[in-house]
Amino acid sequence: MQKLDKHATGYLLKPVDEESVKRELTFIYGEPDRKNHIRVQTFSGFEIFVDGKPVRFGRSKAKELLAYLVDRRGAAVTTAQAYAVLYEDAVNSASGTGYFRNIVRELKNSLKRAGIERILIRSFNSISIVLDEIDCDYYRFLQGDPAAVNQYRDD
């Protein structure tokens, strides 16, 4: 004798619209995993993708700053530390500090245009990223994920 299982989690009334289906599926399965929404590629060149499309940066130093923050794995850095990394030989001057603020602003604006400004944490004199918001090949590599390990090619 077969057992008949009946589970009622919700109902849809006709005509069914897309939003109603999404609501019921979210109720059953929970919120969709958004980690794959923002993907950071560090192997074979640094890129960040939102829904498969690369994020465009107005200044290359803004992209370089983001790469440095990804490398720090969520650890906050002071503006002086980030400035020293981006401009190795430069002396930290008033004009240099002003230019660096423009770089940070450009990074923030680029992320905002892509709809992912939530990954950036800014506070007085420090900046970092939110690790839980991104899917990064480097982080998966460090965790021993076989797919990420296989992507690594002496980069």
For residue 155, the model assigns a pLDDT of 53
Q: In the numeric block, which tokens belong to residue 78?
A: 């002071």
Task: Give the pLDDT confidence score for residue 30 in this predicted structure.
Answer: 62
pLDDT tens sequence across 61-115: 999 999 999 999 999 999 889 988 988 876 766 777 788 889 999 999 999 999 9
pLDDT at 23 over 90: no
DSSP state of 35: G
Task: Evaluate whether 27 touches 9 at the Cβ level (below 8 Å).
Answer: yes
Residue 56 has pLDDT above 90, yes or no: yes
Give the global pTM.
0.72
What is the secondary structure of 115-128 as a DSSP string? T-GGGEEEETTEEE
Distances (CA, A) of 84 to 28, 64, 77, 94, 106: 49, 13, 11, 14, 18
| Averaged confidence pLDDT in the chain | 84
Residues 6+ apart with CB under 8 A from 6: none
Q: What is the pLDDT of residue 36?
A: 45
Looking at per-residue pLDDT, the higher value among 28 and 115 belongs to 115
* CA 65/CA 137 separation, integer angstroms: 18
Q: What is the pLDDT of residue 46?
A: 94
pLDDT digits (tens, 9 = 90+) for 131-147: 999 999 999 999 988 87
User: What is the C-alpha separation between 106 and 102, in angstroms, rounded?
Assistant: 6
